[in-house]
Amino acid sequence: MALLEIKGLKTHFKTDDGWLHAVDGVDIAIDRSETVGIVGESGCGKSVTAKTVLKLIDMPPGKIVAGQVLWKGRDLVPLGPEEMQKIRAKEISIIFQEPMTSLNPVYTVGEQIAESLRLHEGLSRKDALDRAVDMLKLVRIPTPERRVRDYPHQFSGGMRQRVMIAIALACKPQLVIADEPTTALDVTIQAQILDLLAQLKDEMGMAVMLITHAMGVVAEVAQRVVVMYAGKVVEEAPVRELFAHPRHPYTQGLIRSIPRIDLDAQHKVRLEAIPGTVPKLIEPAEGCRFAARCKYAVAACVQATPPLREAAPGHKVACILDVAS
Amino acid sequence: MTAPLLQVKGLKKHFPLRGGLLQRVVDHVHAVDGVSFELAAGETLGLVGESGCGKSTTGRCVLRLIEPTAGEVLFEGRDVGAMGGEEMRALARDMQIIFQDPFASLNPRMTVGAIVGEGLVIHKLANNARAIEERVAQLLQTVGLSADQMRRYPHEFSGGQRQRIGIARALAVNPKLVVCDEAVSALDVSIQAQVINLLEDLRTQFNLTYIFIAHDLSVVEHISHRVAVMYLGRIVEVAPSRDLYTSPKHPYTEALLSAVPIPDPTVARKRVVLQGDVPSPIRPPPGCHFHPRCPRAQAQCKVEAPVLRELAPGHVAACHFPN
C-alpha cells in the first residue's frame, strides 16, 4: 500500500466567472521514503494539489468536488478540523516557498519549532525548547543555543528556510511536502538547502513530495516525476526515464525550452519554445488541454480527454498519440 | 579598431543609510563598488550574480536612472554623466531598458498603443496620430502581437505578452543599447523560451547591443557573447560565455556554476557548496570581498583586494589564486 494515494482528486474554486477547475482529476501515489517531484508551470495545479492533501485550501471559495486522499489507506477528505490537526505536522508536514511570510514575526524561532512538539508530543515548554535546539543543530544552523532565542527577521533567507525545515521535521513526519522550497533563494543557497534536504531524508527516511517549476531541481532531487498541465497529470515516470524518453509533447517541449549550461556551443540550438499560453481553467471543455499548443494535435485530441495510460512499465502518459522523443 | 559602444570606468554607487533621531547619514550601502567594462556594438554582455551583488544598480547607473556616486560611463565616446538635459534626452533614445516585472512596469490606465507610442511622441519620431498608429502596429507585429491589440489595456494580457509589450516600447525609439534587467525571470520556462528567442531575433534584425542582467546562469550563458560575474558590488570575472563555463578562474564563479541544477539526471557533478551567506554590502569584508566564503583564501586575500587581470585571451578574473 502506498503511503499517500491521491485518487481522482478535483479541487475547484468558485469565481465571479464560474468554477475554476484548478485540480481536475489527479492521481498521484507516493511510497514510503520516496521522493516524488511534481513539476509544472504557474497555474498547473501542483500547489493546490499539495495544499488539498493537508486541507489548507480556503473553503469557500475552494471545494473538493471529487476524489480521495488516502493516507495509509484512510481517506482524509471527510475529516474535520480536529482530526486534520492530528495529522498535520505530526504525520505530514509542509515547507512553503516564502520563509518570511510563513514564519510568525513576533515569536522566536525556538518557540515556533517547540509549538508542534508541545501540541503533538505533549512536551513541557523547557523540553520542547531543548528539542528545538537539537532541531536547529540538525539543519546545520551555527550556534543553535543562541539562535533559538532569535526572531525570524534576524535570519537570512536561506537560514529562515532552514528554520522552516526544522519546524517541518520536528515531529518526525513520514511525509514532507516541499512547495517550491528553494524558489525564492539564490542559486548557491538553493544548492545548500537541496543538499540539506537530501541529507536529512537519508538520515530520517521520510518521503518527500517536492513541488517545483524547475526541471533542473527535479532532475537532481526526485526519484519519480509527475508532470502536471492545466489541472491534470500529463505524464509520470522514474526520473531518468522521464528525461531520457519524455512521451508527452508538453514534457518534451518543457525539456527543450530550458537553456542548458552544460552543453557545448556546437550542441546549442535555438530554444524550442512552446507557442501560445496556458488555457483558462474556468469550466474547461472536454479534450486534451494541451491540444491548442501541441504541434502533433489531431482532431481526436479535442473530442475526448485522454486518460493517463501506462505506455511502458512505470511510465504513464495522457496522450492518445505515440510521439517519439 | 572601432571604439566600443559603451565604456564603464570605475563605476560606484553608494546609497546613504540614515539613522538616529535626526536621520543623519550613518553609513553607506556599497551597492556598486568600482565596476569597469566595455561593450562593442552588436554584442551581448551578461551580468550575473546573486541578490544584492549590484547587477541591477549597475544597469541603472549606465542609463543614469540612478546617479552614480563615482566613475564614468561613456556612450560612443561621450561622457553620459556630464550631459545636460537636452543632450541626455537625446541619449535616452539610444539607450532603453526592459524591466523584470511585466505587471508593475506597464501603466494599467494606458492602452497598449499609448504605452508603446509614448516614446514616439516624446522624441517627436512621428508627426501625426496616423503615423504613430502605423508605427505602433508595426512594432506590435515585430514582437509577435497583433496590431488590433493596441486598444487593449495591460491587464488583458498574460505575463509573456506583457513582456512583449515592454520590448515593443523599448524598440519604438530605435535604440542602440538595451538593458534587459531580469527581463525573462518572472516567466514560466515555455514562455521564457519564446521571449529569449524573440530577443535574439531582434538583436540580429536591428543590430542591437544588450546588457543582459539576470540571476539565472543558464539563461545568461545562452544569450550572451560575454559574461561578467558580480559579487558584492564588484566584477570578479569576465569571459566569453563558453570559456566561463568550461574553465572558470574565480572560485566564486566555480561555486556559482556548480550550484546550477542541470535538467539531466544522468549528469553527475562535483558541487562546490559555499558555506554561509553573502555578507552585508554595508561593511563588505576587507581585501577580497569573497575571502570569508572562499575555499582557497590565504592571508593575502584578507588585506589586499585583487584586481582584474587577463588570465587567458579575453578572460579576466580578480583573484590572487585563480584556477
Mutate to test the interface with A, among B161, B188, B220 (most CBs of A within 10 A): B188
Residue A217 has pLDDT above 90, yes or no: yes
Q: What is the pLDDT of residue A24?
A: 94
237-256 in chain B: CB under 8 A from chain A:
242, 245, 255-256
For A24-76, how does the pLDDT look when each residue is reduced to its tens digit (9 = 90+)? 999 999 999 999 999 998 889 999 999 999 999 988 899 999 999 999 999 99
B259 and A270 within 8 Å at the Cβ level: the answer is: no
pLDDT band at A325 (very low <50, low <70, confident <90, very high): low
Q: What percent of chain B has pLDDT over 90?
A: 63
Give the count of Cβ contacts less than 8 A between chain A and B.
128
Alpha-carbon distance A257 to nearest alpha carbon in chain B (angstroms)? 5
Contact between B161 and A275 (Cβ < 8 Å): no
Q: What percent of chain A has pLDDT over 90?
A: 66
Q: E strands, chain B, where?
A: 6-19, 24-39, 44-48, 70-75, 78-79, 95-98, 177-181, 209-213, 226-231, 234-240, 309-312, 315-317
Q: Is B309 on the interface with A (CB under 8 A)?
A: no
Q: What is the pLDDT of residue A179?
A: 92
A188 and B274 within 8 Å at the Cβ level: the answer is: yes
Contact between B48 and B253 (Cβ < 8 Å): no
The set of long-range contacts for A144-153, using a CB threshold of 8 Å and a minimum separation of 24, is A147/A109, A148/A108, A148/A109, A148/A110, A148/A113, A149/A108, A149/A110, A150/A108, A150/A109, A151/A105, A151/A106, A151/A107, A151/A108, A151/A109, A152/A99, A152/A100, A152/A103, A152/A104, A152/A105, A152/A109, A153/A105
Mutate to test the interface with B, among A100, A186, A215 (most CBs of B within 10 A): A186
B217 and A271 within 8 Å at the Cβ level: the answer is: no
Q: How far apart are CA A316 and CA A196, in angstroms?
A: 31
B161 and A277 within 8 Å at the Cβ level: the answer is: yes
Q: Is B215 on the interface with A (CB under 8 A)?
A: yes
229-288 in chain A: CB under 8 A from chain B:
239-240, 243-244, 253-255, 257-262, 264-265, 268, 270-275, 277-278
For B119-142, how does the pLDDT look when each residue is reduced to its tens digit (9 = 90+)? 999 888 888 889 999 999 999 999
Taking the model in full, what pTM does it have? Answer: 0.88
pLDDT band at B1 (very low <50, low <70, confident <90, very high): very low
Question: Average pLDDT for residues A228-236, to the nearest whole number?
Answer: 96
**Contacts with B267 from chain A: Cβ below 8 Å:** 262
Residues 6 or more apart whose Cβ sits within 8 Å of residue B42: B203, B207, B208, B209
Q: Which of A118-122, A297-301, B25-29 ranks highest by mean pLDDT? A: A297-301
For B200-226, how does the pLDDT look when each residue is reduced to its tens digit (9 = 90+)? 999 999 999 999 999 889 999 999 999
Q: Is A100 on the interface with B (CB under 8 A)?
A: no
A42 and B273 within 8 Å at the Cβ level: the answer is: no
